[in-house]
Every structure is written in C-alpha cells, then in structure tokens.
Amino acid sequence: MEKAKAVSDDNSLACLEAGRNLVARTAEPLNQLRQAAGEHDQQYTLVADRLAEAILSCGINYFNHSFDPDSAATALELYHEAARIAAGPMQRNRCNKEINLLRDIKAKQDLEQGNFPTHLKPLVDGIRERIKSIQSEGASIASVNHFLDYCTPDLNKIRAQLGAGNDSYLTLSSAVANNALNAVITAVNQEQERVNRSYASNKADLIRSIVNEALGVMEKICALDMNNEVTQRYNHNTTILNNMSHQLTPAPYTSGAFNNYDDESDGDRTCGTRILYYLFVIIVFIIAKACFG
C-alpha cells in the first residue's frame, strides 16, 4: 500500500498498474488473515478497509487523468475489486457510491460514442434529447409514459435497420430503459413519502395505486432491449413492485391484512408476477442507481 501511495496521482498508467498490483499481491495474504482472525475481527476489518481504500484511490486517480476512451470501464475493474475487499460498512458504501457514479459516466460515454449510420442520426439525436429531458424534469409516471411512447417507435426503427445485437443500438435502448427505470423508482419513492406525511386514512390504497401504475410502465420497459446490467436492475425492481402490490392488497375475508407470498425463481427477465420473499414495512427502499447501480 505504501508503494501505491508513492505513485504520482497524475500518472494514470502508473496508478492503474499500482492498483492491479495491489489486488494481485495482497489476495493470498489477505485471505490468510481472514481465515486466521475471522472476517468480523476488528483488526482484519481495519486492514481490509485500508487496502480497499488504496485500490479505490488508484482507480480514481487513473480515471481522472487518463485519456483512454475506455478508461471508465478499466477503472470500474479496480472499483469492483475495492468493493469486494472492503469489510466495514462505511468503506463498502463509499466503494458502491463511487461505482454508481462511474457507471453513470460510462453509460453517458457509451451513448455519446455510439456509431450510427448517417440516415439514422435524426432518430438517435431525438432519443438522446429525450433522455436529457427526463433526467432534468421532475419524475412522474405520466412523464415516463410520454418518454417511452416517444422513444420506443424510433428505437424499433433503429432496431429494424441495425439488428437487436448491434452494440450501438443496444447501448441506446438500454439507456432509454435505465432512465425510464430511474424515473419510475423516483416517482414511487416520492409518492410514498408524500402519502406517509399526509393524514389520509387510506394510505395503503394510495400507495397501491401508484405502485400499480408503475407496474404498467414496467411492462412498457420490458418490451425494450436491455444489456445484462439494466436487465438485472429491471428484474430486481419489478420483483419489489410486484411484492408491494400484493402485500398492499387486503386478503380475502380479512380487513386490510397483508398477504405473505413465497419467493419464486429470480432467473430470466419477467414482465409479470415474480414475488420476493417478504416486505417488512410499507415504505420500502427501492435501489435507485445501483450496484448494478
């Protein structure tokens, strides 16, 4: 770690090499320490967190000073290694926060660097402008519906020309899906907060209404082509929304009691009724930019 700290912050390649060396050379000693002391030992946590911070710093310094067009993807490798090594909650949270920030940067870079034929540029530029708009305006289910109704037909035209497997098309379609997903999550969270601050006697009904509206939008998002990362995020949040909808629906022959449902498979992408194991409170934390982001 001391050697890594001695590397000049503005030497991007040296920082990258230092970070990779830290990962490779400390893997076995750290594993031995974990086995000897236990992963919850205070001294082990201290050492692991210091190592994670050093690796993360190498990744940050590399990205900040690199001119490599793939620098975000390369730096993410170090960020993920740091998150894997971190043992304490504060260091894990820091790593995950940096991962989410860099993922957003990478997604924007990928979107801007897309290689499209000239005759498709007007469609692509229109979708890009819509993405910028939904990122800046207040989130609502209505705005997401409008966003998808605009983007989906043009995405289908681009898909017909380039094919579903085209990298530039898939990046663009994934960006549409991910931004729509972000807006849905924000809209549901904001509505829950508003309802729970109110004095309404039918809070469960009001929250169920917005959740069911969100599920309708999720069906539209499901029709889009997505990369693996966005697909996983979509699946996770669809499962949570489905579970919320069922838990907020009164059971037959009871008065407002929550139902309990068993968890189903979390395998391939679904658009309908995969249920998570349980919901402990009405106000649920929906992950917004994940660790997958």
Which of residues 227, 246, 268 is at a domain's end? 227
Total of domains in the chain = 2
In a domain, 127, yes or no: yes
Provide the percentage of residues in the chain whose pLDDT is more than 90.
46
As a whole number of angstroms, the distance between CA 45 and CA 91 comes to 10
72 and 165 in a single domain? The answer is no
197 and 148 in a single domain? The answer is yes
222 and 127 in a single domain? The answer is yes
**Looking at 2-11, 72-81, 158-167, 251-260, which range is the least confident one?**
251-260
In a domain, 220, yes or no: yes
207 and 124 in a single domain? The answer is yes
10 and 82 in a single domain? The answer is yes
**Looking at 57-61, 161-165, 257-261, which range is the least confident one?**
257-261
Which of residues 199, 227, 255 is at a domain's end? 227
Backbone angles phi, psi at 264, to 5 degrees: -105, 180
Q: How many CA atoms lie within 13 A of 66 on its CB side?
A: 20
Domain that holds residue 7: 2-106
Kindly tell me if the per-residue pLDDT of 146 is higher than 60: yes
Q: What is the pTM of this model?
A: 0.54
The SS3 call for residue 143 is helix
209 and 142 in a single domain? The answer is yes
Instruction: Give tens-digit pLDDT for 92-142.
Output: 999 999 998 898 888 777 677 677 888 998 999 999 899 888 887 767 899
Instruction: Give tens-digit pLDDT for 267-276.
Output: 344 443 333 3
As a whole number of angstroms, the distance between CA 31 and CA 48 comes to 10
182 and 97 in a single domain? The answer is no
102 and 137 in a single domain? The answer is no
> Are residues 178 and 236 in contact, defined by beta-carbon separation less than 8 angstroms?
no
89 and 157 in a single domain? The answer is no
In a domain, 199, yes or no: yes
127 and 192 in a single domain? The answer is yes
32 and 75 in a single domain? The answer is yes
In a domain, 258, yes or no: no
In a domain, 238, yes or no: no
Residue 274, pLDDT score: 36
Q: How far is CA 105 from CA 65, 100, 109, 176, 205, in A?
A: 15, 9, 6, 15, 38
In a domain, 285, yes or no: no
As a whole number of angstroms, the distance between CA 240 and CA 247 comes to 10
Residue 200, pLDDT score: 72
85 and 145 in a single domain? The answer is no
Amino acid at the residue 5: K
As a whole number of angstroms, the distance between CA 156 and CA 35 comes to 53
Residue 124 neighbours by CB under 8 Å, 6+ apart: 114, 116, 158, 172
In a domain, 79, yes or no: yes
The SS3 call for residue 225 is coil
Amino acid at the residue 121: K
- Determine how many CB atoms are found less than 10 A away from the CB of residue 113: 11
Instruction: Give tens-digit pLDDT for 214-267.
Output: 999 999 999 999 999 899 999 999 999 988 888 877 654 333 332 332 333 333
In a domain, 128, yes or no: yes
As a whole number of angstroms, the distance between CA 162 and CA 169 comes to 7
Which of residues 85, 106, 127 is at a domain's end? 106
